């Protein structure tokens, strides 16, 4: 791994340590936000960007879990390979911050800002251009947004930063399918 990849692995591990406690201890149903779609994204991301083939767990093969990478101890995919899951908490998704805990929220965004910086550096050599990137990073959208692609709703009620990350993940996973200029961010009123 190069310097940037090593830094990203470390940052995603830090974020996992920060968000996992939330999922395990503050949600009504711990780790209840899992979805097969995120497993599919992780599989594609791992192969394309890290040249890693994710292996289904024995528990999944035996029908004991409904997600391919879930074991009795939780998800078996490394945090840097399951970006959406690593960055997610219900509070961030719902409010854009953790109510009543400014310190936790600040740490979350400190780590996330570093991740975004190194992810952008990682892809810099691809000379990716998109007219909305600079404006978007400068937090044009303060509230929740709906992410659309060619008028099809992909994700509703998500923070602008999460929508941006999902947009970039989709583009990098399937650049022949997705055109960055056709993603839309619609601010919710």
Task: Give the span between the Cα atoms of 64 and 71, in whole angstroms.
Answer: 9
Residues 146 and 184 in one domain: yes
φ/ψ of residue 74, rounded to 5: 120, -165
**pLDDT at residue 105, as a whole number:** 93
Task: Give the span between the Cα atoms of 125 and 43, in whole angstroms.
Answer: 23
Residues 144 and 102 in one domain: no
Of 84, 105, 103, 114, the closest CA to residue 8 belongs to: 114
Q: Which residue has the higher pLDDT, 129 or 152?
A: 152
Residues 74 and 146 in one domain: no
Residues 17 and 76 in one domain: yes
Residues 112 and 47 in one domain: yes
Over residues 98-149, the pLDDT tens digits come to 999 999 999 999 999 899 888 877 766 444 444 344 344 444 555 667 777 7
> Does 18 have pLDDT greater than 70?
yes
Tally of domains in the chain: 2
**pLDDT at residue 111, as a whole number:** 94
In the predicted model, what is the mean pLDDT of residues 152-172?
A: 71
Q: Which domain holds residue 181?
A: 128-189
pLDDT band of 161, cuts 50, 70, 90: low
Q: CA 63: distance to chain centroid?
A: 27
Residues 108 and 172 in one domain: no
Tokens in use for 50?
């890290």
- Asked if 181 and 130 touch (Cβ cutoff 8 Å), the reply is yes
In the predicted model, what is the mean pLDDT of residues 24-40?
A: 81
**pLDDT at residue 173, as a whole number:** 65
For the stretch 157-178, what's the b/e string if a residue is b when 16 or more beta carbons lie within 10 angstroms of its beta carbon? Answer: ebbbbbbbbbbbbbbbbeeeeb
Over residues 53-94, the pLDDT tens digits come to 999 999 999 999 999 999 988 899 999 999 989 998 888 888
Residues 174 and 150 in one domain: yes
**Boundary of a domain, candidates 85, 108, 126:** 126
In the predicted model, what is the mean pLDDT of residues 147-162?
A: 73
Residues 33 and 72 in one domain: yes
Q: What is the DSSP letter of 187?
A: E
Residues 102 and 37 in one domain: yes
């Amino acid at each position: 791994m190069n310097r940037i990849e090593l830094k990203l692995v470390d940052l995603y591990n830090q974020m996992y340590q920060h968000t996992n406690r939330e999922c395990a201890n503050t949600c009504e149903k711990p780790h209840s936000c899992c979805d097969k779609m995120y497993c599919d994204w992780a599989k594609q991301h791992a192969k394309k960007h890290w040249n890693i083939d994710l292996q289904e767990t024995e528990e999944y093969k035996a029908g004991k879990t409904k997600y391919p990478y879930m074991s009795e101890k939780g998800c078996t995919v490394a945090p840097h390979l399951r970006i959406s899951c690593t960055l997610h908490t219900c509070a961030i998704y719902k409010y854009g911050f953790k109510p009543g805990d400014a310190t936790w929220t600040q740490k979350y965004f400190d780590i996330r800002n570093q991740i975004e910086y190194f992810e952008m550096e990682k892809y810099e050599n691809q000379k990716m251009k998109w007219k909305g990137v600079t404006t978007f990073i400068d937090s044009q959208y303060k509230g929740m947004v709906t992410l659309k692609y060619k008028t099809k709703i992909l994700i509703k009620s998500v923070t602008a930063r999460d929508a941006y990350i999902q947009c970039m993940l989709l583009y990098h996973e399937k650049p022949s399918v997705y055109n960055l200029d056709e993603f839309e961010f619609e601010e919710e009123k």
